Structure 1
Amino acid sequence: MAPSLFTYISASRRPALHAYKYSGTDKSLVSKYILGPYWNALVSFFPKSVAPNTITLSGLALVFLNFITLLAVDGALKCGTDARLQAIARDLNLSEGLNTSAANATAAVGAAVLTLGLPVRPLLARYGLPKSIEVDEAGWGFWNFITHGSTASDHSHCLPHWVYLTWAIGLFAYQSLDSIDGKQARRTGMAGPLGELFDHGCDAINTTLECLLCAAAMNLGRSYWTIASLVATLSNFYLTTWEEYHTGTLFLSAFSGPVEGILMICVIYVITALLGGPAFWDQGVLNVTGLSEASFVRNSALKNWNLPLNDAFLSFGAAGLFANVITSYSNVAAARSKRGQSALTPAAGLLPLILQVAINIFWLTAQDARIIADGQAFIPFCIFWGLSFAYNVGLLIVAHVTKARFPFWNLTLVWSALGAIDAQLPTPLIQHSQAATRAAVYVSLVLTALLYGHFCWHVVTTITDELGTACFVVQPPRKLNKELGKAVELEESNKRDADRKAKGKRKEKLPR
């Protein structure tokens, strides 16, 4: 088959599938001494008739169930949005201007935020909410629609506190199943590129869903903080995948997203459930820690840093992202230098991520942040973004396992650019009203879902056909050609040697 726009593994790249070997390094002490023994015991309960990808997909299904509970009640993140509007009005001594529904929806906030102590000082103006968000913005949840026949704002959009415990259980179960699929693959003789792709695909989808769930648990609402957290989590995932492409090894540091990061989110859910719901995270960090009573705090500039707990936590996450950038690039530079290759050229591989983030933010903030202000468009847009991201990193993983060139562009970038440009026009051609913008978001979501679905179908069927294996049935590769794999490895080795020699000759020709 000749390569085409929708042929993700061309005939010329299929031989590389026979040479694929997983390589990973995990420096986590939690994995080694606590979770590792638990995972080894857990996988023994699964019969060898259960396919590894079935285990992976089962874990993702639990996350989907968690996400459905959010959509059922608060599909517009209205609970957190109303809480921030309440805080804005309180700061301006305009609490009497709030309508009854907003006051009811955020009644729990008052008890938390009005706790005696220093005033809470958010990092962003208006607690991160765009000016275009109105206090009477109607939310939606399909359970409210079924039971009340409307999405009006006179129904509660705050989840019962016990729901967050189910989120913690579901996420921990996802982590457990995601961690044993590789062990099951080795038990059943099905370790290979298909498992690598399937695992990363599920992880990419989970990243977006979990980010939105965490935003709900921490009362972020439809604020710029939710967007920032989405950018940070997707960036961390992309960096890990980009690093694996250039080094050939999946590096998990002493503090990594798949291990400590997930456990930290589980703790957030438990705290939210047990300590008063999402309103807990609106309290000032100095008030919660008791430092607000210390004289050295009250009598110094430190009193102005009584950040809301959610602001403080997300600032910590930003620092973690910066550290991850340095670590990932250091690993890539070391691997490239060892092979006699440039340590600078891989930086170009960050462009797809940077472009995707910049374009989608450009779109989100157009027309006075209309998409953010629209409770019925915000989460669908985030899911569209998440699927676009999954498609992006999916192409990168395919390039990794087939030893293909780095994928610098894809259709989702073009589509996002068209949507952003139209939205930013003085008179948009398509998104000329709120209803039209909402329709554009829905169409984008559907088309991206179809594109990603086709990508998954093509990659899975190509690999299973090439290696003679199956996706959800235990069937070790029947067509695996180790000699062909060795030939591919030899070809790659010779190519690296040739590049190294060419680089050496260029250095010799440089004037001294």
Structure 2
Amino acid sequence: MFEYKYLSKEHLKGFNKYKYSAVDTSPLSNYVMHPTWNTIVKVIPKSIAPNLITFAGFLCMVAVVAILTAYDYEFFAAGGRPGLAGYECDVPNWVFTFCGVMIFLAYNLDGLDGKQARRIGVSGPLGELFDHGLDSYIVFLIPYSIISIFGRDPVFSVPCLRGLLIVISVVMNFYVSHCEKYNTGTLYLPWSYDLSMWVCSVLFLIAGAYGPEYYKHYVFGDVTFAQMLEVVIHVMGCITTYPVAVYNVYLSYKTPGGASKKYPFLEATKPIWSMLVMTAAVIIWAVKSPNNILEQHPRAFILMYGTLFSNISSRLIIAEMSHRRCELLSWMTWPLLKGIMISLHLPHLESVVLHLLLVLFVLSHVHYGICVVRQICAHLKISCFTVPKEKRK
């Protein structure tokens, strides 16, 4: 079942000569988090594999989504439920506290896995791929979870479509950084990552202490807290990620030698198209839906987008690490477009189509991830979750 070979021999050969290169200039990361992680990692047993730490962090985020889904499937818990005149939160405060702790724990585990790998001498392409592949889902699950803090309140939240756009804005920071690495050979970690993880954790902890109603107020004039946060999220990407990425690619292409691939323009921009087509299609579906499918099934719709995003990102990460050209369009684009066409012409099937696509994409993505990890483990003759005996001493 999980023996399918997604990677070619050329991909595997590319992994053999891959060397990790990253630049992290974030003050919060360098002066607070890295010293903290360097201290904590000393007490972690050497028998614990770095990939196990990575996976534990991912499971923390899965736990957050699972409990919020159980208590707030329709995103109405923090306001906006039809027929309910006043405000009544259906989620106990302890759930928000739990989520804040789990998100912060996931963030720290994500920082500790690399420290553990270098400490015991097992750094390699599998660890980076496993880390960044799961990060591509975690980066989506965080804004996906935060929606439950604000709900669908008609006054103190934002409409579902704008909520989807916020999720898109957040995940695009991650994707643009990897498009940058695809061209330059170096991953420039955005400052917004560390800051956003702290902010997300604090947002949940405050909601746990005072309830989601704490955020139901005007910051100044008619601008609500949710609207202000929405603007900040969009502006952060436009200021700290996109122009910096373009500038770094420009410098790498202008610098003689170096690790830059120096692709022709069309090849350099190739990673953009698959993500652009998929994102545009999803937004068009949300806007043109005859049944307003995003409002009817917001959790399923946004989860479908996040899964598509993670799969396309993971394939780009593999391309950049194996020094192969990335694909122009993901195969998932075609069933997505077909599903949208059916939904627009046969509205009574729209809900069924959405959930079938969600199941197809989730199962396909899980299958892809497991098969790729198994294939690389077999190629490198290593185990994903086990530390070699000689490294445990």
Counterpart mapping for 1:80-95 below 5 A: 80=78, 82=80
For the aligned residue pairs, the C-alpha RMSD in angstroms reads 2.2
Among candidates 194, 197, 203, match of residue 268 of structure 1: 203
Q: Which residue of 1 aligns with 2:33?
A: 35
1:401 CA drift (Å):
1.2
Q: Which residue of 1 aligns with 2:288?
A: 366
In structure 2, distance between residues paired with 1:201 and 1:343: 27
Over residues 39-97 of structure 1, what are the superposed CA-to-partner deviations in whole Å (9 max), with x where a residue is unaligned? 011111211111111001111111111111111111110124516x7xxxxxxxxxxxx
Among candidates 44, 51, 54, match of residue 53 of structure 1: 51
In structure 1, distance between residues paired with 2:152 and 2:111: 30
Kept in 2: contact 1:189–1:476 (CA 8 A): no
In structure 1, distance between residues paired with 2:11 and 2:144: 37
1:342 CA drift (Å):
6.0
- Return the letter of the residue paired with 1:406: C
Q: Which residue of 1 aligns with 2:156?
A: none
- The 3-state SS of whatever aligns with 1:206 is helix
Q: Does residue 403 of the first structure (1) align with residue 318 of the second (2)?
A: no
Kept in 2: contact 1:172–1:262 (CA 8 A): yes
TM-score normalised to the size of structure 2?
0.90
5+ residue gaps, structure 1:
1-5, 86-98, 108-156, 287-302, 479-512
In structure 2, distance between residues paired with 1:250 and 1:17: 16
TM-score normalised to the size of structure 1?
0.70
Q: Which residue of 1 aligns with 2:354?
A: 441
In structure 1, distance between residues paired with 2:164 and 2:179: 22
Among candidates 174, 177, 180, match of residue 243 of structure 1: 180
Q: Which residue of 1 aligns with 2:232?
A: 316
5+ residue gaps, structure 2:
154-158
Q: Which residue of 2 aligns with 1:125?
A: none
In structure 2, distance between residues paired with 1:367 and 1:447: 20
- Return the letter of the residue paired with 1:33: Y
Q: Which residue of 2 aligns with 1:223?
A: 160
Q: Does residue 463 of the first structure (1) align with residue 383 of the second (2)?
A: no
Q: Does residue 413 of the first structure (1) align with residue 333 of the second (2)?
A: yes
Kept in 1: contact 2:282–2:305 (CA 8 A): yes
In structure 2, distance between residues paired with 1:13 and 1:78: 45
In structure 1, distance between residues paired with 2:245 and 2:307: 24
Q: Does residue 160 of the first structure (1) align with residue 92 of the second (2)?
A: yes
Q: Does residue 380 of the first structure (1) align with residue 300 of the second (2)?
A: yes
In structure 1, distance between residues paired with 2:334 and 2:42: 46
Counterpart mapping for 1:102-181 below 5 A: 102-103=84-85, 106-107=87-88, 158-181=90-113
Kept in 1: contact 2:316–2:326 (CA 8 A): yes
Kept in 2: contact 1:20–1:401 (CA 8 A): yes
Distance verdict in 2 for CA 1:279–1:205, change over 3 Å: same
Q: Does residue 328 of the first structure (1) align with residue 328 of the second (2)?
A: no
In structure 1, distance between residues paired with 2:143 and 2:383: 32
Distance verdict in 2 for CA 1:472–1:166, change over 3 Å: same
Distance verdict in 2 for CA 1:263–1:194, change over 3 Å: same
In structure 1, distance between residues paired with 2:364 and 2:25: 36
- Return the letter of the residue paired with 1:308: T
Counterpart mapping for 1:339-350 below 5 A: 339=256, 341=262, 344-345=265-266, 346-350=268-272
- The 3-state SS of whatever aligns with 1:408 is coil
In structure 1, distance between residues paired with 2:360 and 2:147: 26
Distance verdict in 2 for CA 1:44–1:14, change over 3 Å: same
Distance verdict in 2 for CA 1:20–1:348, change over 3 Å: closer
1:369 CA drift (Å):
5.2
Among candidates 166, 171, 186, match of residue 118 of structure 2: 186
Q: Which residue of 2 aligns with 1:453?
A: 366
Among candidates 192, 214, 217, match of residue 280 of structure 1: 214
Kept in 2: contact 1:235–1:353 (CA 8 A): no
Over residues 205-258 of structure 1, what are the superposed CA-to-partner deviations in whole Å (9 max), with x where a residue is unaligned? 1122211211111335662221111111121111111111111111124x221x
- Return the letter of the residue paired with 2:251: A
Distance verdict in 2 for CA 1:283–1:322, change over 3 Å: same
1:399 CA drift (Å):
0.4
- The 3-state SS of whatever aligns with 1:411 is coil
In structure 1, distance between residues paired with 2:317 and 2:79: 37
1:339 CA drift (Å):
4.7
Kept in 2: contact 1:220–1:310 (CA 8 A): no
- The 3-state SS of whatever aligns with 1:78 is coil
Same amino acid, percent of matched pairs:
25
- Return the letter of the residue paired with 2:77: C
Q: Which residue of 2 aligns with 1:26?
A: 24
> Radius of gyration: which is bigger?
1
In structure 2, distance between residues paired with 1:177 and 1:56: 6
Distance verdict in 2 for CA 1:79–1:36, change over 3 Å: same
Kept in 1: contact 2:126–2:373 (CA 8 A): yes
- The 3-state SS of whatever aligns with 1:285 is strand
Q: How many residues align?
A: 377
Q: Which residue of 1 aligns with 2:278?
A: 356
Distance verdict in 2 for CA 1:38–1:307, change over 3 Å: same
In structure 2, distance between residues paired with 1:280 and 1:423: 39
Q: Which residue of 2 aligns with 1:484?
A: none
1:34 CA drift (Å):
1.3
In structure 1, distance between residues paired with 2:291 and 2:173: 25
1:188 CA drift (Å):
2.5
